[in-house]
Structure 1
Amino acid sequence: MATDLTTPLGLAVSGNTLYVSEGTDPGRVVSVPTTGGTPTVVATGLTYPYGMALSGSTLYIAENSPGAVISIPTTGGTRTTVVTGLNRPYGIAVQPTDDQPEPGQCWGSVCLPPLGS
C-alpha cells in the first residue's frame, strides 16, 4: 500500500481502488490501487474529510468542520455541494437500491438515497 499518506481519516473501496481521505491542511482525497502504488489526487482543498461513500462513479465526502457533504467523480473533477448546515458529520452511507433503512440505521451519519432515485 501507499506509505506517503498523512493523517488518513476515511476509507472507501470500489473494485481494485481504495479511496483515502487525509486530514492535511488543506485536506484531500487520493485513490490508490488495492495492490499498492502511488496515490493519485482526486480532490483537494477539503476541511476534515472524515466520511466517504461511493455510488457508481460518484464519491460522496462528509466534511466535518464546515458541516457539509460534497460529491465528486471518482476520477476527480468538479465538486458539487450536496448538503450544508450539518453538525460535524463523521460518516456517510449510500443506501443500496434493494434495501430500505431500518429506523436509526444511519444514526451519526448522513444517509443518501441510491444514485438516480
Structure 2
Amino acid sequence: MTNYPQTIRDGATAAPSKGLSISSLVLSLVSIPAGFTFVLPVIALVLGIVGLKFEQEGRAQAKAGIVISSILLAIWIVIVVIVVIVAIGLTIPALSSEYQNVYPLE
C-alpha cells in the first residue's frame, strides 16, 4: 500500500487530517466545565502529543490542547495533594495520646 495523497476529481487533493489535534483541543476545553475530571485532560494530553507528532497541519490545536490539559492536570494534582495533607492533619491529632486522654475509648 502506498502513501500517496488521495486525489479527488479534477486533480484536487484531500485536505490533511487534523482530527487528533482538534480532538485534543476540544476535550481539554470540555474538561474545564466538566468539574476538572482526571480522565478528559489525560486523554486530551495523549491526543495532543500524538497529533503534534503525526499531524503537521494541526500543530497549533495540538499545542493548545497540550497546554490546557497540562494546566488542568496540574490543578487537579494540587487539589489532591491539599486534600491528602488536610486528611492527614485531621487524623494525626486523633492518634495522639493527648486526644485519647480527653476522649477515652473506654
Higher relative contact order (CA 8 A, sep 6+): 2
Per residue, is there more helix in 1 or in 2?
2
TM-score by structure 2 length? 0.23
Per residue, is there more strand in 1 or in 2?
1
Bigger radius of gyration among the two:
2
TM-score by structure 1 length? 0.22
